[in-house]
């Protein structure tokens, strides 16, 4: 059991309350029709019903010989059955033939099964050693082993029948879904539109990654990691770049986002209590600020409101705080707008290999989770300063310390939020 502390800072909003406030500002996602070949990562906005049987005709599952059961029931290695090979059936051709007793047809994988054939004997069970491509069918074939009725035959409709619902609304399109849609001849589908998110980073100290550092300046890390996060979770990015700590320029930048009709504006830095943190003031002047401090660590200065009617989330400037703030508050918005469960997270029960400490805020500690002796254990990846991106890079999960808990001893159980999920 952790060390509990009853005291809570009354100015700080609970994480779950903050998230609830944010999510309720976003309603039904938009729907759009797209080509299935461009649908990777989108979420289906309709059920998909198959209009065809799959397979649409009964066909061979192997390269071999189509046979009748009566002819091969006695076949064995020592006493092979010899059958006349009356035709050759390649894939893609309709060969109109009916097998009579004593007859077989050479057949390829995917080729139409002839009438009266009851099984396919794979070439490996015959004397017909498959030669190089183009080898003609033999006049006769020796069958060394019997097979069962229906063996190596794929029946019409065996996988999918006409009218079957093969994909459901809400399912995410992966490469295999694209294959399945192609198989049933569906090339256009209804999906939820990608949310469009404007992003900018504020701070007079910021330089783009390719500008040499000058005294007092740092490279902008947040623009790049936040863009990557938006893309990872399936949003479209409208990048407004680096904006100086100047209220007029900030307002112009927000207006630019407005002109692009984005679903959400996300910024980093400039929402805290610094003398040059103008963002909250600008948001307040032209819209509304719902809250700007959340009971979490790292990432306390998270702001939420709207600028001229467009929802706005101001993330903290410190790179780890910005990243975690995004995971906690922006990711659920993207998921909701994409038609998915916004609160889904990949959680693991873990055991601590070392004691951990917090200040009583809901904490997200950078950890490495790995299996040991049949359970998942965790170790901190390094010092937890909110600017230390390296310890975030070395982490594969965030350890969740509930609000009010100030420490957990070695051996305690907790939950870790795995960072490898792509949804």
| Stretch of 18-26, 93-101, 129-137, 264-272 contacting Mg ion, by CB under 5 A | 264-272
Is the CB of 192 or the CB of 278 nearer to ligand AMP? 278
- Least distance from ligand AMP to the Cβ atom of residue 307, Å: 18
Residue by residue, DSSP assigns 82-104 as: EEEEEEEE-TT-----BPPTTEE
Cis peptide before 55 (omega within 30 of 0): yes
Is the CB of 25 or the CB of 218 nearer to ligand AMP? 218
Catalog residues that contact ligand AMP under the rule CB under 6 A.
Answer: 201, 203, 205-206, 218, 220-223, 268-270, 272, 274, 316-319
Is the CB of 60 or the CB of 295 nearer to ligand AMP? 295
Rounded to whole angstroms, how far apart are CA atoms 118 and 70?
9
Taking CB under 5 A as the criterion, which residues in 166-225 touch Mg ion? 203
Question: Where do the H-state alpha helices sit in 163-278?
Answer: 175-183, 222-232, 247-259
The answer to whether 313 and 324 have CB atoms below 8 angstroms apart is no
Three-class SS of 232-243:
HCCCEEEEEEEE
State the number of binding residues for Mg ion (CB under 5 A).
Answer: 3
- Least distance from ligand AMP to the Cβ atom of residue 423, Å: 26
Is the CB of 120 or the CB of 389 nearer to ligand AMP? 389
Asked if residue 282 binds Mg ion (CB under 5 A), the reply is: no
- Least distance from ligand AMP to the Cβ atom of residue 314, Å: 9
- Least distance from ligand AMP to the Cβ atom of residue 205, Å: 5
Strand 206-207 to strand 218-219: parallel, antiparallel, or no bridges (unpaired)?
Answer: parallel
- List phi, psi (to 5°) of 153: -115, 130
**Which of the choices ligand AMP, Mg ion, none does residue 62 contact, using the CB cut-off of 5 to 8 A by kind?**
none
- Least distance from Mg ion to the Cβ atom of residue 269, Å: 4
- List phi, psi (to 5°) of 122: -65, 150
Name the burial class of residue 194, with classes exposed (0-12), middle (13-18) and buried (19+) by CB atoms within 10 angstroms of its CB: buried
**Which of the choices ligand AMP, Mg ion, none does residue 185 contact, using the CB cut-off of 5 to 8 A by kind?**
none
Residue by residue, DSSP assigns 41-77 as: T-BBSS-EE-SS-BSSS-EESSSEEEE-HHHHTT--S
The answer to whether 99 and 68 have CB atoms below 8 angstroms apart is yes
Asked if residue 269 binds Mg ion (CB under 5 A), the reply is: yes
**Which of the choices ligand AMP, Mg ion, none does residue 220 contact, using the CB cut-off of 5 to 8 A by kind?**
ligand AMP
- Least distance from ligand AMP to the Cβ atom of residue 394, Å: 18
- Least distance from Mg ion to the Cβ atom of residue 287, Å: 21
CA atoms within 13 Å, Cβ hemisphere of 261: 1
- Least distance from ligand AMP to the Cβ atom of residue 273, Å: 8
**Which of the choices ligand AMP, Mg ion, none does residue 391 contact, using the CB cut-off of 5 to 8 A by kind?**
none
Is the CB of 201 or the CB of 358 nearer to ligand AMP? 201
Rounded to whole angstroms, how far apart are CA atoms 231 and 34?
19
Is the CB of 177 or the CB of 277 nearer to ligand AMP? 277
**Which of the choices ligand AMP, Mg ion, none does residue 318 contact, using the CB cut-off of 5 to 8 A by kind?**
ligand AMP
Strand (E) or helix (H) holding 282? helix 279-286
**Which of the choices ligand AMP, Mg ion, none does residue 64 contact, using the CB cut-off of 5 to 8 A by kind?**
none
Is the CB of 208 or the CB of 411 nearer to ligand AMP? 208
Q: How many CB atoms lie within 10 A of CB 288?
A: 12
Q: How many CB atoms lie within 10 A of CB 329?
A: 23
Give the interface with Mg ion as residue ranges (CB under 5 A). 203, 269-270
């Amino acid at each position: 059991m952790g060390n509990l502390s009853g005291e809570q800072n009354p100015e700080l909003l609970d994480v779950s309350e903050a998230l609830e406030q944010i999510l309720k500002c976003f309603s039904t996602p938009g729907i759009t029709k797209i080509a299935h070949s461009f649908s990777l990562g989108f979420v289906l906005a309709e059920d998909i019903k198959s209009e065809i049987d799959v397979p649409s005709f009964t066909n061979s599952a192997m390269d071999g010989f189509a046979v009748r059961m009566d002819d091969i029931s006695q076949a064995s290695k020592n006493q092979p059955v010899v059958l006349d090979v009356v035709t050759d059936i390649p894939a893609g051709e309709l060969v109109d033939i009916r097998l009579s007793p004593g007859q077989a047809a050479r057949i390829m994988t995917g080729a139409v099964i002839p009438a009266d054939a009851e099984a396919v004997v794979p070439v490996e069970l015959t004397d017909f050693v498959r030669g190089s491509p183009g080898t003609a069918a033999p006049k006769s074939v020796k069958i060394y082993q019997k097979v069962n009725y229906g063996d190596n035959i794929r029946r019409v409709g065996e996988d999918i029948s006409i009218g079957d619902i093969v994909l459901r609304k809400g399912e995410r399109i992966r490469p295999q879904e694209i294959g399945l849609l192609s198989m049933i001849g569906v090339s256009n589908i209804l999906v939820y539109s990608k949310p469009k998110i404007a992003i900018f980073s504020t701070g007079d100290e910021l330089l783009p990654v390719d500008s040499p550092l000058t005294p007092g300046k740092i490279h902008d890390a947040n623009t790049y990691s936040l863009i990557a996060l938006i893309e990872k979770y399936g949003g479209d990015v409208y990048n407004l770049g680096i904006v100086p700590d100047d209220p007029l320029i900030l307002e112009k930048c927000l207006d630019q986002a407005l002109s692009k009709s984005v679903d959400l504006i996300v910024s980093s830095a400039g929402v805290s209590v610094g003398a040059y943190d103008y963002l909250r003031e600008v948001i307040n002047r032209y819209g509304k600020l719902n809250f700007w401090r959340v009971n979490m660590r790292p990432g306390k200065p998270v702001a939420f409101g709207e600028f001229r009617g467009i929802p706005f989330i101001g993330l903290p400037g410190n790179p780890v705080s910005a990243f975690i703030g995004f995971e906690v508050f922006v990711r659920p918005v993207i998921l909701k707008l994409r038609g998915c469960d916004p609160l889904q997270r990949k959680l693991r029960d873990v055991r601590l290999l070392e004691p951990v400490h917090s200040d009583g805020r809901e904490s997200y500690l950078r950890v490495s989770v790995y299996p040991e002796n049949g359970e998942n254990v965790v170790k901190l990846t390094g010092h937890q300063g909110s600017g230390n991106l390296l310890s975030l890079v070395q982490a594969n999960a965030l350890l969740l310390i509930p609000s009010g808990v100030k420490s957990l001893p070695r051996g305690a159980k907790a939950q870790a939020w795995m960072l490898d999920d792509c949804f």
